[in-house]
Amino acid sequence: MASGSYQMKVNSSTKIFDMFVGGTFTPTDVQNFVRDYNNEVNRINAGEYVLEIDCTSMDLLKPEMIPSLESSYRMYKESGFKKVVFNINGNAILKLQLSRLARNTGLTNAEVREV
């Protein structure tokens, strides 16, 4: 199984904060992700941006990953993005999992979009 990987890119002309997330994250991956995410978000006015997360190569969520993902969702909410979009392949189970996490964490401006 692949380790977790991620990339982040701020596009100031389109006001999109692009993020790619894939694989399964270890606790160390999560720590590095949070550090890099905070560094990037602190450079922009998140309220003017859409956070677009490419989850097309993301694995189905395992129960032990839920707490970390809930923390990430809360982090996205606290950042104050205009909108948060999770792009997935046509995976109905992952769509349900991500949508449920958004509801459970109060991330009301989230959309799970099949691409």
CA angle 102/103/105 to nearest 5° reads 65
The predicted pLDDT at position 2 comes to 52
Q: E strands along the chain, which residues?
A: 5-11, 16-22, 50-54, 83-88, 110-114
10-residue block means of pLDDT along the chain (115 residues)? Answer: 80 97 80 93 97 89 84 95 96 94 97 95
Closest CA to 85 of 47, 45, 114: 114
And the tokens for 25? Answer: 């994250």
The predicted pLDDT at position 1 comes to 41
Per-residue pLDDT tens over the stretch 78-96: 999 999 999 999 899 999 9
**Contacts (Cβ under 8 Å, ≥6 apart) of 103:** none
Distance CA 57, CA 3 (A): 12
The predicted pLDDT at position 11 comes to 96
The predicted pLDDT at position 69 comes to 85
